[in-house]
Amino acid sequence: MGPADSKCIMLVDDDELIVKLLNLNFSPCGYRLVNCIGGEQAYKMAKECLPDLIILDIMMPRIDGWKVLQQLKGDEKTRDIPVVVLTVKASPEDRERALGMGAARYVVKPFNPSDLVQLVEELI
């Protein structure tokens, strides 16, 4: 059994293509993947499945990643789950905001999938 076996990653993005791409990258590693399209269900799903790590988009309609991150970090059940923010927002202010809110890492799209897999492996 490898380090990824039975580890669960929750993918939160409103772009189904990004979610599919992430699935293609993480599935061969043996992770269990929970897909969440958009931010509306993200916090509820995270509380139910308690993933080992969450990859979270910021720019989503209705409930954005900032709100989801705030909900996750404000709840003792989900507070300690590492969150990797994956976003097109490349400004240093956004990076500082995300890390200040408790995100473990901040990755800007477009991203290198193998780098992201390696980063996740370091975190879980």
Say how far apart CA 111 and CA 93 lie, in whole Å.
19
For residue 90, give the CATH number of its domain: 3.40.50.2300
Q: What is the DSSP letter of 3?
A: T
3 pLDDT band, cuts 50/70/90, is: low
- What are 103's two structure tokens? 């995100």
4 pLDDT band, cuts 50/70/90, is: low
Residues facing residue 52 across a β-bridge: none
Instruction: Give a yes or no: residue 26 inside a domain.
Output: yes
Instruction: Give a yes or no: residue 24 inside a domain.
Output: yes
Instruction: Give a yes or no: residue 39 inside a domain.
Output: yes
Q: Give the domain extent around 42.
A: 8-112
Instruction: Give a yes or no: residue 18 inside a domain.
Output: yes
Instruction: Give a yes or no: residue 43 inside a domain.
Output: yes
Number of domains in the chain: 1
Q: Is the distance from CB of 82 to CB of 55 less than 8 angstroms?
A: no
Say how far apart CA 15 and CA 96 lie, in whole Å.
24
- 68-88 per-position pLDDT tens digit: 999 999 999 999 999 999 999
Instruction: Give a yes or no: residue 122 inside a domain.
Output: no
Instruction: Give a yes or no: residue 106 inside a domain.
Output: yes
- 25-66 per-position pLDDT tens digit: 999 999 999 999 999 999 999 999 999 999 999 999 999 999
3-class DSSP state of 41: coil
pLDDT at 6: 83
CB atoms < 10 A from the CB of 43, how many? 21
Please determine, for residue 2, whether its predicted confidence score (pLDDT) is greater than 60: no
Query: How remote is the C-alpha of 29 from its chain's centroid?
Result: 16
Instruction: Give a yes or no: residue 29 inside a domain.
Output: yes
Per the omega criterion (within 30 degrees of 0), is the bond before 51 cis? no
